[in-house]
Chain A
Amino acid sequence: QKEVEQNSGPLSVPEGAIASLNCTYSDRGSQSFFWYRQYSGKSPELIMSIYSNGDKEDGRFTAQLNKASQYVSLLIRDSQPSDSATYLCAVNAPNNFNKFYFGSGTKLNVKP
């Protein structure tokens, strides 16, 4: 079992819709969770971090964490074509707060 699992997609949503991206992780000891966005041919960029159960909102982005279910999600409201990218979920190694495992990413296509 991989440490971090994501559906590879592609996930296609129309412009203006809510995109929902999901991630599960295997180790209950993980405490830090991040979402990165990676445009084709570019390196990942950090867009959201979450450490506590519940929701965290930043503009059009909402990260959701459920440690009991070992589940992290990212919601993108009012999706725009510029949101089309691969979204990577990252979870810290439980015995090492500064080391992360990455999912393979979910490709999001936002259609105009």
Chain B
Amino acid sequence: DVKVTQSSRYLVKRTGEKVFLECVQDMDHENMFWYRQDPGLGLRLIYFSYDVKMKEKGDIPEGYSVSREKKERFSLILESASTNQTSMYLCASSQLRGQGAYGYTFGSGTRLTVV
């Protein structure tokens, strides 16, 4: 089975801190994604990547950046954490496909609280 591992299940950070969320997948997937999930708003795409050192903005990239130095690892960075970034963060990966895409495999999520 594909496994997507997120480094932390729960995190509490202070306003203004720089926060790193790590995600590692073990099945050589090309695509990796970062979403946040909030009640009533569903899953919203922050950033995604199709290849090493490649990144594209999703729908809500403000206040975030990403890094993909190795194929298996995709990091989400909160440059200066704010309370409105308190959320559940979900990493996902999938195989690259031209048409008829593959579904995602999600990590277990990181619940981040910014105080």
A residues whose Cβ falls under 8 Å from a Cβ of B? 8, 31-32, 34, 36, 42-46, 49, 51, 88, 90, 92, 97-100, 102-105
Contacts and interface: CB of A to CB of B under 8 A. Distances in A.
Is chain B's interface secondary structure helix, strand, loop, or mixed overall?
loop
Interface of B: 31, 33, 35, 40-43, 45, 48, 50, 58, 90, 94, 96-109
Contacts of B45: 99
A102 B103 contact: no
A98 B94 contact: yes
Given A42-B108, A42-B109, A100-B104, 4 more contacts: A44-B104, A98-B94, A102-B35, A102-B42
A98 B106 contact: no
A43 B106 CA distance: 6
Contacts of A100: 101, 104
A92 B99 CA distance: 10
Contacts of B35: 102
B101 A98 contact: yes
Given A43-B106, A102-B42, A102-B43, A92 B101 contact: yes
Given A46-B104, A103-B42, A97 B109 contact: no
A46 B41 contact: no
B3 to A, nearest CB: 12
B100 A98 contact: no
A98 B97 contact: yes
Nearest to B105: A46
Contact of A43 (B50, B103, B107): B107
